Structure 1
Amino acid sequence: MLLFFILGLLVHFVFFASIFDIYFTSPLVHGMTPQFTPLPPPARRLVLFVADGLRADALYELDEDGNSRAPFIRNIIVHEGSWGVSHTRVPTESRPGHVALIAGFYEDVSAVAKGWKENPVEFDSLFNESKYTWSWGSPDILPMFAKGASGDHVYTHSYSAEREDFGARDATKLDTWVFDNVKDFFHAARNNQSLFSKINEEKIVFFLHLLGIDTNGHAHRPYSREYKDNIKKVDDGVKEIVSIFKHFYGNDGKTTFIFTSDHGMTNWGSHGAGHPSETLTPLVTWGAGIKYPQRVSAQQFDDTFLKEWKLENWKRLDVNQADIAPLMASLIGVPFPLNSVGTLPVDYLNNTDLFKAESMFTNAVQILEQFKVKMTQKKEVTLSFFFTPFKLLSDSKQLNILGKARSYIKQQKYDESILWVSLCKELIHLALKGLSYYHTYDRFFLGINVVTGFVGWTSYVSLSIIKSHSNLTRGVSKEVKKPSHLLPCSFVAIGILVVFFLLIQACPWTYYVYCLLPVPIWYAVLREFRVIQDLVASLLTFPPSHFVGYLLAFTLGIEVLVLSFFYRYMLTAGLIAFASWPFFTRLWTQAKIASLSWTFFSLLLAVFPLMPVVGRKPDISLVMGAGLLVLLLSLFVITSLIKRKDNFVNEELLVHLLQMLSTVLSMLVVYSTHSSLLRKQGLPLLNQIVSWTILASSLVVPLLSPTILFQRLFSILLSLMSTYLLLSTGYEALFPLVLSCLMFAWIYMEQETLQQSVVSHRQKLTSIEFSCNMDITQFRQLYLDDIRRAFFLVFFLVTAFFGTGNIASINSFDLASVYCFLTVFNPFMMGALMMWKILIPFVLVMCAFEAVQLTTQLSSKSLFLIVLVISDIMALHFFFLVKDEGSWLDIGTSISHYVIVMSMTIFLVFLNGLAQLLTTKELKLCGKSKSHLI
């Protein structure tokens, strides 16, 4: 059994890792020749303001009195520069947004594994191409561009990470720190000859990263007074910095200013997905080389923002976020970032037609260089007769487009600018399609191998279940025959051919794993050929109508589970169907109270998937209500304990009183922390200490209670609920309580089903005790009803994941849920706490599943194998649903669904171990070991 689970974990780890090789590999290539416009640039220096977390509508719209929150920037739009909306891509996080702005490409998703801080791959950026760059702001953003720069010409000035406190009294201090340090920098430059000469050079960049708006948005929401006042503070700061630049450089007209944001923010204070409030960010540019405001009578856009913002008469120029990098590069005359995929927005440029034409041509050649390098790399590692080039951009096509564009420029046919602009844009479009083509060149090949291995593994597990845990193979002949060497020799030959094929193409070592893994898996499947024969014979004796009915029910159940990942209300439909289960069986007549409890709690739990995602409307009163319900339930249990007549009541009573105290402390901490943050007094140290203490004790206190089934399960619920209350902000605090009540009803219902099954002996629930030393002679074979039990487990696990939110999207997370533990920004610690919050309902379900296995006298291995088959079928389903086209939100969500199901399969083993630890282990209390009660 241990060997099987180790092999299973290894196989699933390979399948899990395959998705990163297929979809998460870096699209970047290296070895391109830098490209720059061979004409004098309009600006000597560029100032980039990035207001982190600023929504486009929050900047552009007027307040209740008809006044702008940013009067200086509004004045720029009307009198000095050009403006528009910058459209970001998913994920809308700080690092990907800044990489798109400054490097011109959309961040490799694998960077999330490093917390969006470290560079997973080296990339070129505007800062690297500049002569000098000075930057001020967050320690999470600035270092990644300095580390990726060649030489020592990118200087960073960042505050300490402790300043990024979501519970701070005034988050605008993060922005005032930047403005003050920039002022001090220019003051110091007047007395420092070396620094003075550097900042008077050409091709230099000043980067001001302003985090206050993002911090206030997370802490108080974007509709709050704090968020809106912070915009006014930033506007005042920008105005002052612009004045300093004009004064320092004598108003020489050689400075370009760009004001934008890395991402927006939802109304509930989060970002990371694809809501328009996150993907629409402001872009305001003015100064050297920027076109002046253009009055228009009408503009055509898909949205209605122009009238709402009262800017319908000022030409709006929208761009993709990556387009800003080539714009900045052309303005100061540095090479375009080598990995940039942005298209130069020439409508922003106020320069000669020749400059615009040359800049656009340079942009096209720069992207074409990436295509050529990518094609060469792929061609070198692919057999010539297998290589299929990208036909839409052949060598002749490239020369034709480049020749025509260069001809128009040489002939100075600027009146026909639409021709050379369209030619350059066509070349860029085709080159980007070609880059994507070669980047995904091996995707189909790898996918076929993974699917082949997946189907083989699922088949092998199914055969193992049938052979070892059912009565379907009793007809298999036990006659021993001399084994044939044909089958193993055939698979050895196949393996050698696969290795040779990969070797001559110089494939990465991971390709060997994906391509060779199906070979032994299918060998193990075909070795059980006689079991397959016997299975088919057994199925032929099964009534066709029954077989079709069971198959349809199983397929429908799988489809409901899959659809629930996209539509949470499908969980509601499933739970309503569950509620009617007792009425379609004899359970209603056997156990009316248990059946009514099952129906009531199934319907009550069905409400949660219909609720809005957690975090959108915080309500501490609901958290307090959940805590009071836990206390009332505890009082009921304590009352029943006092009525008991045994020697262990005092010890058990002490444990429950300790857990009640923990619940009360959790409620007090939640209320106190919420009030303190509202008063902008930060997180009290005492609250923080109590929160971490409760979290640390939540996995230890249950071990002090007896191992009798319901007593241990109730103790686990009380301890985990204390932690869950600390991590809750609203209605989700009630979710584990309702889920646990349904789990208790489930255990009772499964006990009742034993009277309808072949199990002859049924223990009373009050006498069943968790034990790590199970008597395997009591285990029985599998029956069809056990498939339903396994399906129930998978359904409850999915409900635990999606009952209060969509964890496939970063957008469902709310940082406010961890404010009882910490408020200073720490992505790993905050992520770990939120992940534990998600796993608590998962642990409750797994503990209940342990009880179901006990009450049904079924081995954990056999039920787990059925769960494994169900989850693997779901994972295979999601593998086919993975997208590599369309919006980034669709692509990211489809991949995350696959990762979630694969993670569930892998971590099911570890959480099953945690559940066994929580249910079977005991700790000594008062210096002596507790003995059995029964």
Structure 2
Amino acid sequence: MATSGSVWRLLLIGLVFHLVYIGTVFDCYFTSPVVHGMQQHSLGRAEAKRLVLIVGDGLRADLLLAKNGFPMIPDSPEVVAPRLRSIIEKRGAFGISHTRVPTESRPGHVALIGGMYEDVSAVSKGWKTNPVDFDSVFNQSSATFSFGSPDILPMFARGATPGKVEMWCYDEDEEDFTKDATALDVWVLDQLRTLFHNATSDTILDARLRGEQTVFFLHLLGLDTTGHSYRPHSKEYMTNIQVVDEIVKQTEELFLEFYKDEETAFVFTADHGMSKIGNHGDGDPDNTRTPLIVWGKGVRGPLPDSTPSSHDQYSEPFGLTHLFRRDVEQADVAALMSALIGANWPINSVGVLPDVDPTKPGYLLAKEGEKAQAEVALVNAKVILEHYRVKHVEKKTHSLFYRPYSYFKRVEDTEEVPGQNAVAVIEDLIHHGNYREARLLAKEFISQTLEGLRYLQTYDRTMIQGIVIAAYLGWIAFGAVSILLPLVTSVSQNALPFHLAATSVLAGFWALFAKQKSPWTFYIYILFPCYFWDQVLVRASSPLLTYVRQGAAGSVVGPVVRGLLVFAALQSMVAGYTHRSIWSAWFAVIGILWPLFSWPSEVRSRHWQLLLGWSACCLATAVFPLLNVHQEENLVGITSGALVIYLIGVAGIRTFKFPDPQGTRLFKTISFILLNGLGWSVILVNLVVRDLRDKKGVLPVFRIIGWALFLSTALVPFVLRVGRSNPHARLLSFFLGFSVCFIWLAIGFEGLFYVSYSLTLCLWVEVESALRKHAHAKSSTNGTARPPIIAINKQDAGAYRPKADDLRIAAFFLFFVQVAFFGTGNVASISSFYLEPVYRLVPVFNPFLMAALLIFKIVSPYIILAIAFSILNARLDLPPFSLFLVALTLTDIMTITFFLNVTDTGSWLEIGQTISFFCISSLLLVWSAGICAVGEVLMAGQPRGNATVSADGDRNKVE
């Protein structure tokens, strides 16, 4: 049992623990790739004098290369990019560049140009600033001239040698999702043309442009913007690809006209792809496959396909199966560009040049043939070895029981620096003209060294995994004993051995971390399991026997069965993250099977109307997880949701009353304001959507009115509070206040989901109240009421004593927490945060404001859940957060499962999902705690216990 004070203390500890431990997944599975103090390497000679990198931001490989890639568009051409296709068929080499999670613009460009894969959390640390310093091909060039987005270009100038990276960026306001985004790409071409024109009268600029190892970067953002606005399979996206193709053609012509030679190498690729609904960031295969086309000086031409074929089912529609397809990892592009211009590899590059492997063609057409390919393979091996060497020295110096990677063990005793023997063998093979053997050995050496680097980067993984699992299990045990068992003063004399043991373990780990120079976060992680298990052992050493003597220990069959059912329910929620139909199955179970097989017959017969309403609402909400996640903008769905919300508001005005006439008038006034805002929002959204479809943009007056309606309706329920005497009336005011969000930010049927979800929560309160009332009446009649627990401490009087049903209520709460996230704005799919509705209010690219709107849309159902949960706590006369603490204790059964499922191998879809699921599971409960706190504040002063309020506002006692 837990007193009110201990509830708050336990809640605070739990929230801090869960928030801190989100970082463990990154410390355990993903470490920073940046290594300092390394020596740089280069081939020392160039294949081309200059290089042009063209990145089509957000370009999908299949939609660029496939024949008849846009069959849904009337009169669409068979080949959407004839220039690039002609290059593939006649002059260059092509393949697929496979990106990594997160498939966002920033990490994609860092991989392409820096040759390194950033920490997956880096994208959340800054959109326009560098969370980690990195080197790049641009910084290793003699000069780089870059053109494009202000979100991408500056991060490659930051930290570079002053004056080496020059950039021309358009204004951020030009990134308007309601305008023709091809203008951004045309602007880039115009700036390049202007640069060459200025060089005709500027001798210094002309000399810089004509220097060797010069790089030009054309960042074409239009495709990304167009894909977000209209989706990739739209006519607009197809047109943007055609514009990009024309820009490639004119860029070639500009270089030929200005330089009058053929010493330029061209690389065309993308930073990431795009899903069917116009989003990216996760591991969806359409997000991870981007085109790579390389041609010009130093690049081989097209080659016939090999046996076995280099193609698969994905590339068959390209109509290029007669040509060899050479796939690469995204970081390999940086190595390829470095080799082409003869510059130093970026210092943190882990890319592998495609030409290292002699068993299949690469991309280079080296001047010195296979000798140059062998030499560049040697350089690549030295670059990768340098990473391993620095990490090896670091681990060897600071680890207590260091074990080098098995591949290098045989030379560890004779060499200070591992791998030098293998490098010497490669050099000797090249010296004697055995180029193929040298490349084969280099390939194997690079592969083993990368595995060794991964081994060192994850060297502490097992230890961190053990700490994390011990901490989560400790929290579960700590929460259980804190709720069930009092901390009595008589135990303090027995606590000293436990405290000494916990302190010794903590000191031992801190000493180990200091020796290994571990991150500061490790010191914090180990605090929690030491504290949790210390408290568990202290609390369980004595009070358990007292608790058993008071009648807690009876038949173990019931608790074990309930425990297994709750465990199975939580594991089914884990499966629900990947199988959306499970959420529907849950609603069917709690809406049909639970009442039929678990409710007492007296409750079913006496509350048959409640039973019918509960079942109907559950089945209605169960429909939404089954809907297709790829939703099209649907004004009928948006308007239907608004109409149902409006009818509920009118019904509430006519039904809910207050004891005092002033309270009734205030409620009606608030409801009228909110319904008026809802009505105007429906009209304006219909007008705005039609204008956007006609590509007229959003009229400023509509946007201003929209923001006014959006903000005012959201604030009214907080500013003008409905009276506390009628909790459901106050709940209705918040329901109506947030409904406008589901008009402005809806793409289809989210408003109807919001209605069914909210009604289900309201009926849940009534169902649990009826069941608890029946249980109390039955126990009083039969004389089987559970004997009161003797107060061991003064503060134990009136403490929360959990009942068997509390486990089920907590599990239901966890279920509603998950459904609130998976059913909001994305119709039960985590990957479907649609951006089109956001453009109605924010047409210009503003990631933080756009994210804020999407987050607000997610928050709205949680406010309803928090208020309903607060009403339920009050109805059951339980301390605030008492049921939430039970839920918070249970949820780590899910969290441990998600943590153990996290992987950094396999497909990027699997990697992205496992990381996301763990973080979402941890954050949802932390988030829900804050929301529950808001709910308690918003509903402070409401009737508690068996006091209810009738529709006409009279406060009555339940019989």
**Fold in common (TM above 0.5):** yes
Q: Measure, in 1, the Cα distance between the counterparts of 2:136 and 2:582.
A: 45
Which aligned pairs between 1:509-524 and structure 2 lie closer than 5 A? 509-524=520-535
Deviation at 1:184, TM superposition (A): 0.6
User: Normalising by the residue count of structure 1, what TM-score does the alignment of the two structures yield?
Assistant: 0.91
Task: Report the equivalent of 1:742.
Answer: 760
**Residues of 2 paired with 1:921 and 1:551: CA distance?**
34
Structure 1 residue 152 and structure 2 residue 163: aligned?
Answer: yes
Could you say which residue in structure 1 is the equivalent of 2:789? none
Are 1:879 and 2:896 an aligned pair? no
Question: Residues 465 and 663 from structure 1, CA distance in 2 versus in 1: closer, same or farther, beyond 3 angstroms?
Answer: same
Runs (5+) with no aligned partner, structure 2: 69-74, 356-361, 412-417, 781-795, 943-951
Does residue 304 in structure 1 map to residue 313 in structure 2? yes
2:59 corresponds to? 54
Could you report, residue by residue, the CA deviation over 1:660-685 in whole angstroms, capped at 9, with x for unpaired residues? 01111221232122112112122222
SS of alignment partner, residue 281 of structure 2: coil
CA-to-partner distance for each residue in 1:508-543, whole Å, 9 max, x for gaps? 332222223332322222211112345567899422
Q: Which of residues 252, 277, 296 in structure 2 aligns to 1:242? A: 252
Counting only pairs closer than 5 Å after superposition, residues 189-228 of structure 1 correspond to structure 2 as 189-228=199-238
C-alpha distance in 2 between matches for 1:322 and 1:483:
59
2:33–2:117 contact (8 Å) kept in structure 1: no
1:43 to 39, 42, 48: 48
User: C-alpha separation between the residues in 2 aligned to 1:302 and 1:761?
Assistant: 72
How big is each residue's C-alpha offset from its partner over 1:602-655, in whole Å with a ceiling of 9 and x where there is no partner?
Answer: 111111111122x54221210111001111122222333699994543322211
Shift of 1:297: 7.9
SS in 2 for 1:68: coil
The amino acid that maps onto 1:368 is L
**What is the count of residue pairs matched by the alignment?**
897
- The residue identity in structure 2 corresponding to 1:853 is N
Which residue in the other structure is 1:578 paired with?
Answer: 590
1:757 Cα offset (Å): 1.9
Q: Cα offset for 1:153? A: 0.4
CA distance in 1, matches of 2:918, 2:193: 50
**Residue 401 of structure 2 is aligned to residue 389 of structure 1:** no
Kept in 1: contact 2:735–2:864 (CA 8 A): yes
Residue 627 (structure 2) aligns with: 611
Measured at CA, do residues 921 and 93 of structure 1 come closer, stay the same or move farther in structure 2, by a change above 3 Å? farther
2:279 alignment counterpart = 270
Task: Choose 135-144 or 744-753, whichever is displaced more.
Answer: 744-753
Matched, 1:281 2:290: yes
Q: Which amino acid aligns with 2:838?
A: V
Could you tell me which residue of structure 2 aligns to residue 413 of structure 1? 434
CA distance in 1, matches of 2:884, 2:762: 20
Q: Pick which of 345-354 and 491-500 moved more.
A: 491-500
Aligned partners of 1:880, 1:532: CA distance in 2, in Å? Answer: 32
- How far the C-alpha of 1:805 sits from its partner, in A, is 7.3
Q: How does 1:293-692 map to 2 (within 5 A)?
A: 293-296=302-305, 300-301=309-310, 303-346=312-355, 347-351=362-366, 352-383=369-400, 386-394=401-409, 396=411, 398-414=419-435, 417=436, 419-467=437-485, 485-528=496-539, 529-534=541-546, 541-579=553-591, 580-584=593-597, 585-586=599-600, 587-613=603-629, 616-640=631-655, 646-692=661-707
CA, structure 1 residues 639+497, in 2 after alignment: closer, same or farther (shift >3 Å)?
closer
Contact 2:867 2:936 (8 Å CA) reproduced: yes
Preserved CA contact (<8 Å) 1:609 1:804? no
Give the counterpart letter for 1:582 in structure 2.
Answer: P
Distance 1:192 1:433 in 2: 50
CA distance in 1, matches of 2:799, 2:667: 31
Cα distance change of structure 1 residues 494 and 308 upon mapping to structure 2, 3 Å threshold: closer
Asked if the contact 1:456/1:522 (under 8 Å) is kept, the reply is: yes
**Of residues 90, 99, 104 in structure 2, which corresponds to 1:79?**
90
- In the alignment, the residues of structure 2 paired with residue 631 and residue 549 of structure 1 have an alpha-carbon distance, to the nearest angstrom, of 44
Contact in 1 for aligned 2:283/2:912 (Cα 8 Å) = no
Q: Does 1:166 align with 2:177?
A: yes
Q: Which residue of 1 aligns with 2:932?
A: 912
Query: What value does the CA root-mean-square deviation take over the aligned residues?
Result: 2.7
Whole-angstrom CA distance in 2 between matches of 1:540 and 1:754: 20
**Alpha-carbon offset, residue 592 of structure 1:** 0.3
1:95 is the counterpart of 2:84? no
Whole-angstrom CA distance in 1 between matches of 2:827 and 2:23: 20
Asked whether the 8 Å contact 1:779–1:857 carries over to 2, the reply is no
Q: Could you say which residue in structure 1 is the equivalent of 2:143?
A: 132
Question: CA 1:811–1:621 in 2, change beyond 3 Å: closer, same or farther?
Answer: same
Distance in structure 1 (CA, Å) of the matches to 2:513 and 2:662: 70
User: Among 733, 737, 752, which residue is 2:751 paired with?
Assistant: 733
> How far is 1:131 from its partner?
0.7
Contact 1:634 1:656 (C-alpha < 8 Å) held by counterparts: yes
Number of the residue aligned with 1:25: 31
Q: Is the 8 A contact 1:611 1:804 kept in 2?
A: no
Counterpart mapping for 1:764-803 below 5 A: 781-803=801-823
Q: What is the rounded CA distance, in whole Å, between the counterparts of 2:423 and 2:827 in structure 1?
A: 47
Change (3 A) 1:7 1:268: closer
SS at match of 1:282: strand
CA contact (8 A) 1:623 1:728 kept: yes
Q: 1:296 to 1:557 in 2, by over 3 A?
A: closer
Alpha-carbon deviation of 1:421? 2.3
Per the alignment, residue 895 of structure 1 pairs with 915
Question: Which amino acid in structure 2 is aligned with residue 10 of structure 1?
Answer: V
| Distance verdict in 2 for CA 1:105–1:733, change over 3 Å | same
1:254 is matched with 263
Q: Percent identity?
A: 36
1:883–1:891 contact (8 Å) kept in structure 2: yes
- Partners of 1:652 and 1:933 lie apart in 2 by 16
Distance 1:202 1:810 in 2: 48
What's the CA shift for 1:870? Answer: 1.3
In structure 2, which of residues 5, 23, 40 is the aligned counterpart of residue 34 of structure 1?
Answer: 40
Higher mean Cα deviation, 265-274 or 10-19?
Answer: 10-19
Task: Kindly state the Cα deviation for residue 296 of structure 1 after the two structures are TM-superposed.
Answer: 4.3
Q: Is 1:123 the equivalent of 2:163?
A: no
State the Cα deviation string for residues 837-884 of structure 1 (Å, max 9, x = none). Answer: 112112211111111111111222321220111122222222222223
The Cα of 1:202 is off from its aligned counterpart by: 0.2
**C-alpha distance in structure 2 between counterparts of 1:697 and 1:841, whole Å:** 18
Q: Does the C-alpha gap of structure 1 residues 557 and 238 become closer, same or farther in structure 2, counting only changes over 3 Å?
A: same
Counterparts of 2:940 and 2:467, CA distance in 1: 41
In the alignment, which of 872, 875, 881 is matched to residue 861 of structure 1?
881
Contact 1:327 1:344 in 2 (8 A): yes
**Partners of 1:122 and 1:801 in 2: CA distance:** 35
Are the equivalent residues in 2 in contact too, given 1:115–1:827 (CA < 8 A)? no
The SS at the match of 2:454 is helix
Native 8 Å contact 2:688 2:840 kept in 1:
yes
TM-score, normalising length: structure 2: 0.89
In structure 2, give the amino acid aligned to 1:265: M
Cα distance in 1 for residues equivalent to 2:941 and 2:264: 70
Q: Does the 8 Å contact 1:96/1:116 carry over to 2?
A: no
- In structure 2, what is the Cα distance between the partners aligned to 1:438 and 1:545? 49
For residue 33 of structure 1, give the secondary structure of its aligned residue in structure 2.
coil
| CA distance in structure 2 between the aligned counterparts of 1:308 and 1:888, rounded to whole angstroms | 23
* 1:348 Cα deviation from its structure 2 partner: 1.0
Question: How far is 1:274 from its partner?
Answer: 2.3
Q: Distance in 1 between matches of 2:371 and 2:9?
A: 71
| Partners of 1:345 and 1:821 in 2: CA distance | 46
Deviations 1:346-399 (A, max 9, x none): 22111211111111111111111101111111222212xx11111123463834
Aligned partners of 2:200 and 2:830: how far apart in 1? 46
Name the SS for the 1:109 alignment partner.
Answer: coil
